[in-house]
Amino acid sequence: MGLDLPTLLATTFDFREGDGAFFADVLDYFQDISFGRGYSMSGALPISHQEIRAWCELHVVVLTRLQLVVLRAIDMIYLEVVNKHDDKRGDRR
């Protein structure tokens, strides 16, 4: 697909020294949870809270509120980029 999500995140969030592990963990969670993402005729759908909760239960992960906020922000950025990319190509799932 050619999207560089880590670079996109680095330009979107204000990274500080020591935040790398936090964002790396959340990005790993996002990539794993995103595999369960749904699609419609208009493109990728947001990851639902139910999907996040189910993933957390299966992987025995307790997200902090900040991790959840960042995870949802990453998903919004991802959806904007992917759906815009698909619109340009004329792709529909």
Tell me the pLDDT band of 1, cut-offs 50, 70 and 90: very low
Residue in the structure block whose two tokens are 């794993």: 32
pLDDT, tens only, 34-93 = 998 999 888 899 999 999 999 999 999 999 998 998 899 899 989 988 888 666 665 554
The domains of the chain are located at 22-89
- Cα–Cα nearest to 40, from 89, 2, 88, 82: 82
Q: How would you classify residue 56: left for phi > 0, otherwise alpha for psi between -120 and 50, otherwise beta?
A: alpha
Predicted TM-score of the model (pTM): 0.72
Q: How many CB atoms sit inside 10 A of residue 75's CB?
A: 20
Contacts of 27 (CB under 8 A, 6+ apart): 5, 6, 9, 74
Beta 43-44 vs 39-40: how paired, if at all? Answer: antiparallel
